[in-house]
Amino acid sequence: MDEAERLARRQRRREARGRRIDDTIPSPCVQICQVNSASTHCIGCLRTLDEIRDWPIMTAEEKLAVLDALAQRRSASAGAEEP
């Protein structure tokens, strides 16, 4: 992640403090919290550290986009496990 992206994320978090937290989309967390160093995804929910950190301040649309990405990651990892 480059410096510009970091600054943009930081600004987004600051702006999010003033808006209502969306709780309509439940977290995909399954309480197995360990990051795979090779893929940088949590082995339980397959989110990245940024997605985990930002989840509480994401909009419903952003959360749905993450959930779609998680479905794709699951499919990709299932395909990789097949012989």
Q: Where are the domains of the chain?
A: 3-81
- pTM of this structure: 0.71
Residue 75's alpha-carbon distances to 11, 30, 31, 47, 80, in angstroms, are 33, 18, 21, 14, 9
Name every residue whose Cβ is closer than 8 Å to that of residue 16 and which is 6 or more positions away in sequence. 57
pLDDT digits (tens, 9 = 90+) for 8-44: 888 887 776 666 778 899 999 999 999 999 989 999 9
Largest distance between two CA atoms of the chain: 50
78 pLDDT tier (thresholds 50, 70, 90): confident
- Is residue 35 within 8 Å of residue 43, measured between CB atoms? yes
Let me know if 46 is exposed, middle or buried by CB neighbors in 10 A (0-12, 13-18, 19+).
buried
